[in-house]
Structure 1
Amino acid sequence: MNYVVESYENYREEDRLTTNNARKIEFITTIRILNEILGENLKILDCAAGTGIYSFYLADRGYNVTATDITPRHIEIINNELKSKSYKMDTAVLDATDMSIFPDNSFDVVLNMGPFYHLTDENQREKCFSESLRVLKKGGLIFTAYIPRYFIFQYVALSDKKYIDSNLAEQLITTGILKHTDEKCFWTDTYYSTDKEMEKLYLDNNVKIIDHFAQDGLTPLFADKIDSWKDDEFKIWCDYHYSICREKSILGASNHVIIIGEKI
């Protein structure tokens, strides 16, 4: 995970979901569904909070939020922003595969929005998921974000033709794994999943699936066009995406996907 941390220490995660409309749609879709699903007076763990975009959104609405992340820079940014807030938020630099600082059944909701797709080892992914479930109360909700395996090659190939490589395509499709040591690594250590794999993970761990949606769909493939639209045009697109985001055929054709389950 040192290579993942290094990657994020040198990347402005705080800009990722806010700098343009093509990026904002992931956040817009997700908070729309959060607003639909979450009840009141909940204790929420954002166990890979990044620089806190979801943590602050939820805390601003009165939820009791704990924000953790493996990247020290991210927690520093969150702590600095908290100085201007009227509420408190517990924060910690934390690896999501070991959340032993929290007792069992501590939270009503666990947002696992990032660590899963940076764990290339299956045992580590299972550990991350089991830790998320351990700290979650019975009847609580777990949100897990993943990056679809069959989307990623077309995205990177269209972004830079140097990635149009049959070996890279085969590697991503057959293993779902990208390592920082790979000749044509376009990011950092990453694992790309499928919708069937994620649903099996939930069901095998006695988690009832209650939602499964594409956060951004095909939007990243034509970001420049979306960013050229007027506000009313962009709103129409956001509403359209939301209306189809749960369609099975869309899940594998999205850059980011979230599956939500209830701990039974």
Structure 2
Amino acid sequence: MDREIRQFYAQGFEDERLRGGGNGRLEFLRTQEVVRRFVGERSRVLDVGGATGVHAGWLAQDGHDVLVVDAMPSHVETAGALPGVSAVVGDARDLPVDGPFDVVLLFGPLYHLTAREDRLRAWREALRVVRPGGVVLGAVIGRFAALLDGLRKDFVLDTRYRDVVAHGLRTGHHLPPVDTPWFTTAYLHHPAEAAEEAREAGLDVVGTFALEGAAWLRSDADLDAAYADPELVDYLMWALRQVEQEESVLGASSHLLTAARRV
């Protein structure tokens, strides 16, 4: 993992974002919803790049046996302290475990492994350790997320940000200066790209799902107001489900989740 990526996650921003409000909570809720469709009862789950266990925790509470593999020892220590969760230090490209697992999550590695061959290695490692018929779920950041986030937060007023976005739109490589509040070094996928990688790695693709859709472009205050009303949350989740696989609007989502199986 690149040094600037380690420094970014060492600050704990990402954990706070998903556990807090605004569009981070929207991503969390939708990830939880989609993942639960693919995880059977009492499954053995490998969470690759699982960080501090933000998803491993609720999966363990759901009754699953969860192992987190993460490149950062501090993350492994935190995740391993969660009830029902084990954790080890490791690399998505060369997993320190053999399986078999019912489900493998790749939430993080696919956007922080900026070289395509490294991402293919991560997909192939997931294929290696998942059981026949098992599921691999890979999350990516959409190609247009940095542009849309910049419009939402006025980052585009900064010439440097516009340069970062322009380069990312051309190449997929999001390379911000280290002295900014923007998201760290990452690869941003076109909507169909993660599925193409999964197929090339030897998996059978089930589908790609938009997580936040266009709803993440609402203000954090609006989203937080919705979270306070369970009925509004239900309406929001319903609306996002209606277009979660509509190819013409997949690019509006900040995050996409590709589901694939080992045949």
TM-score range, shorter chain: 0.7 to 0.9
- Look up the equivalent residue of 1:262 and give its one-letter code: R
Partner of 1:205: 201
TM-score by length of 1: 0.88
- Look up the equivalent residue of 2:260 and give its one-letter code: G
* Aligned residue pair count: 257
Question: Is 2:171 aligned against 1:170?
Answer: no
- Look up the equivalent residue of 1:241 and give its one-letter code: L
Cα offset, 1:65, TM superposition: 0.9
Question: Hey, what's the Cα distance between the residues in 1 that align with 2:179 and 2:207?
Answer: 37
Partner of 1:58: 59
Q: Deviations over 1:121-143 (max 9, x none)?
A: 22211222211211122211000
- Look up the equivalent residue of 1:102 and give its one-letter code: V
Is the partner of 1:16 in helix, strand or coil? helix
Q: Deviations over 1:151-184 (max 9, x none)?
A: 3212124322215765333311110102355898
| CA contact 1:47–1:68 (8 Å) conserved in 2 | yes
Q: Which moved more, 1:28-37 or 1:53-62?
A: 28-37
Is the partner of 1:57 in helix, strand or coil? helix
Q: Which moved more, 1:212-221 or 1:44-53?
A: 212-221
Cα offset, 1:69, TM superposition: 1.4
Flag structure 2 segments of 5+ consecutive residues without an equivalent: none
| CA contact 2:21–2:223 (8 Å) conserved in 1 | no
Partner of 1:25: 26
Partner of 1:102: 97
Q: Deviations over 1:228-248 (max 9, x none)?
A: 345133432222112222221
Question: Hey, what's the Cα distance between the residues in 2 that align with 1:163 and 1:257?
Answer: 28
Question: Is 2:199 aligned against 1:219?
Answer: no
| CA contact 1:157–1:164 (8 Å) conserved in 2 | no
| CA contact 2:80–2:87 (8 Å) conserved in 1 | yes
Cα offset, 1:212, TM superposition: 1.5
Cα offset, 1:24, TM superposition: 1.7
Cα offset, 1:64, TM superposition: 1.2
Cα offset, 1:211, TM superposition: 2.8
| CA contact 1:112–1:144 (8 Å) conserved in 2 | yes
Question: Hey, what's the Cα distance between the residues in 2 that align with 1:116 and 1:23?
Answer: 18
Question: Hey, what's the Cα distance between the residues in 2 that align with 1:139 and 1:235?
Answer: 31
